[in-house]
């Protein structure tokens, strides 16, 4: 209670917020080209997704969605590999963003989402599991999209890579199914956020595109886990800062700048909280690059992969997507 009383002035500033300045966020991660079949993959992903979208969707709605260029993210994150893999990655990016937004906007009751995630986990673990949906669930088309996409992913990944994908998606689903905790610190929020987004399974798509299966012991190494967490934190923090204005307008205040303002004694204004959020993004980028360099050096030394085919930029490309779409 004392902390809350000490922060009354900060809450007053937050509620009276009219504008804030977003500092430039420098980025030192080198860029990579798109997949050579990016346009083809993007068109195929949109064509696939439209089969499962609201039939009332207008031509204007479709154009707005296509202008987001969501599948472009997949072909940036995985700029190599077969055309088929590029299409699958693009489909996943469409499915992931659309499902994530559906959940975030609160259009679906919690109990229905619990049933959905339980169903998809059953299907991920058991290829013979048949998805059943009723009027009490999400629209049947959502289940059919899930079933079709999971079947295609399973047939395209090496068995160990598919096992990685299942484990990664399961962490996300279980996070979504659990009750949201009461955050006592910014650190706790950041740790929770890592698995409350669709990002971790992207590592499996990188494995798929490289046509390699990273040994489980490597995925459990301290260096890899720090890299994974730093990359996801980097993207999530970007999203929190870039979505802050939109979420504030919708009275959604669960994000990094707000939590910093309310919990950090040094944060006296919204602007100072935004500035510190941006500094944290830069620090995470440096952490990601540091551990990426360690892992890529190890991989090259062991001739596990060739350097020109290793994707360092999935986190950068996600940030580009957020910036371009104004998310």
Q: Domain-by-domain residue ranges, the chain?
A: 2-17+32-325
pLDDT at residue 114 greater than cutoff 90: no
As a whole-number percent, the residues of the chain with pLDDT over 90 amount to 27
Q: Residues 186-243: pLDDT tens digits?
A: 999 999 999 888 888 888 988 888 788 888 888 888 988 998 999 899 989 988 998 8
Global confidence as pTM:
0.84
Query: Given this model, what pLDDT does residue 327 score?
Result: 42
Write the pLDDT tens digit of every residue in 261-299.
888 888 888 888 999 999 999 999 999 888 888 887 877
pLDDT at 8: 56
Q: Mean pLDDT over residues 57-74, rounded?
A: 85
Radius of gyration of the chain (CA): 20
Region 105-134 average pLDDT: 77
User: Taking residues 114-127, what's their average pLDDT?
Assistant: 88
pLDDT at 260: 92
Closest Cα to residue 75, out of 104, 39, 34? 34
CA–CA distances in Å: residue 227 to residues 183, 184, 296, 312: 24, 25, 11, 11
Distance of CA 258 to the CA centre of its chain: 21
Which 3 state secondary structure label does DSSP give 72? helix
Question: What percent of the chain clears pLDDT 70, i.e. is strictly above it?
Answer: 80
- Provide the pLDDT for residue 55: 80
Q: Indicate if the pLDDT at residue 323 is higher than 50.
A: no
Comparing CA positions, the residue from 219, 199, 221 lying closest to residue 322 is: 199
Structure tokens at 234: 């980097």
Mean pLDDT on 10-39: 74
Give the range among 83-87, 96-100, 303-307 with minimum mean pLDDT: 303-307
Helix (H, G, I), strand (E, B) or coil at 12: helix
Quick one: DSSP state of residue 303?
Answer: T
The string of DSSP letters for 147-172 reads HHHHHHHHHHS-HHHHHHHHHHHHHH
120: closest CA among 79, 74, 169, 159?
Answer: 169
Distances (CA, A) of 208 to 139, 226, 236, 273: 30, 22, 24, 39
**pLDDT of the residue at 321:** 47
Q: Count Cβ atoms within 10 A of the Cβ of residue 89 and give its class: 0-12 exposed, 13-18 middle, 19 or more buried.
A: buried
For the chain, the average pLDDT equals 80
- Mean pLDDT across the stretch 79-108? 77
pLDDT of residue 295: 80
Question: What ranges in 36-139 are assigned the alpha helix state H?
Answer: 38-50, 59-67, 70-77, 83-104, 110-125
C-alpha count within 13 angstroms, C-beta hemisphere, residue 139: 11
In the structure encoding, which two tokens stand for residue 231, read together? 């990359």
CA distance 70 to 92: 10
Which single residue is written with the structure tokens 């910014």? Answer: 186
Asked if residues 75 and 35 have their Cβ atoms less than 8 Å apart, the reply is yes
Give the CATH architecture of domain 2-17+32-325.
Orthogonal Bundle (1.10)
């Amino acid at each position: 209670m004392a902390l809350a009383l000490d922060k009354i002035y900060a809450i007053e500033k937050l509620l009276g917020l009219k504008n804030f300045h977003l500092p430039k966020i420098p980025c030192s991660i080198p860029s990579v080209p798109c997949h050579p079949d990016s346009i083809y993959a993007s068109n195929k992903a949109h064509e696939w997704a439209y089969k499962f979208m609201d039939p009332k969707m207008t031509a204007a709605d479709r154009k707005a969605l296509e202008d987001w260029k969501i599948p472009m993210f997949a072909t940036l994150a995985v700029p190599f590999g077969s055309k088929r893999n590029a299409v699958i990655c693009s489909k996943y990016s469409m499915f992931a963003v659309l499902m994530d937004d559906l959940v975030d906007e609160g259009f679906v009751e919690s109990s229905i989402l619990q049933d959905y995630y339980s169903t998809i986990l059953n299907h991920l673990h058991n290829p013979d599991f048949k998805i059943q949906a009723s009027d009490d669930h999400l629209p049947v088309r959502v289940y059919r999209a899930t079933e079709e996409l999971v079947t295609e992913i399973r047939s395209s990944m090496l068995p160990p890579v598919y096992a990685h994908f299942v484990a990664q998606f399961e962490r996300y689903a279980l996070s979504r199914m659990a009750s949201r905790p009461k955050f006592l610190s910014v650190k706790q929020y950041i740790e929770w956020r890592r698995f409350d987004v669709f990002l971790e399974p992207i590592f499996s798509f990188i494995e798929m595109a490289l046509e390699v299966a990273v040994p489980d012991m490597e995925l459990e190494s301290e260096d890899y886990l720090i890299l994974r967490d730093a990359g996801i934190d980097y993207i999530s923090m970007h999203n929190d800062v870039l979505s802050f204005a939109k979420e504030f307008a919708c009275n959604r205040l669960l994000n990094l700048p707000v939590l910093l303002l309310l919990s950090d004694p040094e944060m006296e204004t919204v602007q100072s909280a935004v500035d510190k959020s941006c500094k944290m993004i830069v620090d995470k980028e440096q952490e990601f690059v540091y551990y990426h360099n360690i892992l890529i050096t190890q991989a090259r030394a062991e001739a596990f992969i060739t350097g020109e085919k290793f994707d360092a930029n999935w986190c950068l490309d996600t940030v580009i997507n957020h910036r371009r779409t104004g998310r």
